[in-house]
Chains A and B, each alone.
Chain A
C-alpha cells in the first residue's frame, strides 16, 4: 500500500492502506481529532486496492480487503473511496473482533449510563444517536456498541457517523459545516455524508458506560412504546450481534446479563423529534 493511516476508534486500532492518496486524505480530515498512537499494533487492517493494476490509471475503482476478504465486495469508484474504507472497517470489526460482544446498535451515554438502540438499517438508530449526541448526550457510536463480557459495561465505538439520505439535511442544519465530510451522492447505500462526533465524545471514547436502557426503534407509524420481555430482547440481540456465536459461553453470559439488567422497549415514531421525545421520556422513567 502506497498510502496509509492509523485510526483508533474505541478499543480498535485500524491500519488503513490505499493505492491512492484521496481516501486517506478524506480519512485524515474525518479522524484528525482522534487519538494517534503510531506505535500501537493494528487490530484490524483495511486495504483499498486497485481492482486491476491498470485500473489505477484508467478508471480508478477501489476494492476493500484486509484481514477478512469478502470476494463479492463490490468495487466502488474512487470518489467513494471513503465509503469503501468505512465498509472495510465495519467488516474487519464485525468478523474479527473477539474481545467484546459486538452489537449492531447505536449508543449514547449520560451520567455514565448507556442507552443502546438496536434496529435494522432504516430504523433510524443512527440518526437518533447522532441527534442525541448533539444535545446533552455523549455519542458512543452510530453503528456498533461493544459489551465487555466480564464487567457487562458498554464500550464506545465512535467512528465518524454515517448519515444517509434524509438524515443528512436534518443533522447538517444543526452542526458546523467543518464537522461534515464530503457528500457522496448515489452510492449503493444512497447519499452518504459523514459527521465527525463532538470533541468531547471522541475524548471520552475509552470511558465505559453501564447499560441502562435498551431500545428497538422503528421509524414510521404513530408514536408508540411497547415494553419488551427479556426473552424477545435476547433473541433480537443475538441476531444483532455479529460475533455472538464466535464468543461461545462468554457471549451467552454477556447477553443474558444485559437483557436481565436492562429494561427494553420497542418504539415507533413518525419523525426524529417524536423519536427523541420518546427516548427522553423512557430515560426519565428508568432513573
Chain B
C-alpha cells in the first residue's frame, strides 16, 4: 500500500471538544458534527499544517505515545487517515 499524503483541515475549520471517552468535532465547512474516539483526535492534532504522510505522522506520534515496537503502526495510521478523509476531516494532498 503506497504511503499516501494527507493534509489537515485549514486552521479554524474544526472545533474539537473532548467529552470523556468521545471527542465531538464540529466541521465549520460542512456544519457536520463528528464523534470520534482515540486515536482520531491525536492523529488530527499531530497532522500539523503541512502535508503529512504516515511515516511522518508515526514519528510525531511516537514522541508522545509508546508504540512498544509495534511494526504495523503505519498501516494502522493509513487506515485511520482514510477514515478521517472519508469524514472530510483531512484531505488527500
Chain A residues within CB distance 8 Å of chain B: 229-232, 234-235, 238, 245, 248-249, 252-253, 256, 259-260
Contacts and interface: CB of A to CB of B under 8 A. Distances in A.
Interface of B: 15, 17, 19-22, 24, 26, 28, 31, 33, 35
A250 B17 CA distance: 14
Given A238-B33, A249-B26, A256 B20 contact: no
Nearest to A256: B17
Chain A binding surface SS class: helix
B21 A231 contact: yes
Contacts of A234: 19, 22, 24, 35
B28 A256 contact: no
25 contacts: A229-B21, A229-B22, A230-B19, A230-B22, A231-B21, A231-B22, A231-B24, A231-B35, A232-B22, A234-B19, A234-B22, A234-B24, A234-B35, A235-B22, A235-B35, A238-B33, A245-B31, A249-B26, A249-B28, A252-B17, A252-B24, A252-B26, A252-B33, A256-B17, A259-B19
Given A229-B19, A235-B22, A252-B17, 10 more contacts: A229-B20, A229-B21, A230-B19, A231-B24, A232-B22, A234-B24, A234-B35, A235-B35, A249-B15, A252-B24
Nearest to B25: A252
A234, A259, A260 — most chain B CB neighbours (10 Å): A234
A231 B33 CA distance: 13
A99 B66 CA distance: 47
Contact of B19 (A245, A249, A253, A256): A256
Contacts of A260: 19
Contacts of A235: 22, 35
A181 to B, nearest CB: 39
A232 B21 CA distance: 9
A259 B22 CA distance: 12
Contacts of A230: 19-20, 22
Query: Can you list the 8 inter-chain pairs with the closest CB atoms, starting with the nearest?
Result: A231-B22, A230-B19, A229-B20, A252-B26, A230-B20, A231-B19, A256-B17, A231-B20
B69 to A, nearest CB: 31
B35 to A, nearest CB: 7
B32 to A, nearest CB: 9
Nearest to A228: B20
Nearest to B21: A231
Contacts of B20: 229-231
